[in-house]
Amino acid sequence: MNLNIDTTEREQEYVIVLKGELDVYTAPELQKILEPIRQSGSHDIRIDLTDVEYMDSTGLGIFVGTLKELNQHDRELYVTGVTKRILRLFEITGLRDLMHINEASGVE
């Protein structure tokens, strides 16, 4: 299980591009990167899931924690490149209605 994380800071936004699997084993890596960004409250966060092959409930938990923290600072969470399979997780849990989610283009 592997997760590559690429982070870019822009003027008002951090862009985090993930590649691989976001699960109970790899989530701590993402959490370690997100924690200081969330706490600063100075930037929106955009997470690109285009190359994420698998995500479990641990990944969803990170998104929920990030969303809560950002909301306290009037900041936004954007999740992009969401495949139909991962989108289904957001829909089942009701999270799709709470954050900005853009689906990946193409057919899965």
pLDDT in tens, the chain (108 residues): 699 999 999 989 999 999 999 999 999 999 999 999 988 878 999 999 999 999 999 999 999 999 999 999 999 999 999 999 999 999 998 888 888 898 775 444
How many Å apart are CA 65 and CA 69, to the nearest integer?
Answer: 6
Spell out the CATH class of 3-103.
alpha beta
Q: What is the pTM of this model?
A: 0.90
Spatial neighbors of 39 by CB under 8 A, at least 6 apart, are 69
Q: Domain extents for the chain?
A: 3-103
CA distance to 25, 40, 48, 54, 71, per residue, from 22 (Å): 8, 24, 12, 6, 23
Give helix 57-72 / helix 84-92 axis angle, nearest 10°: 70
How many Å apart are CA 83 and CA 101, to the nearest integer?
Answer: 11
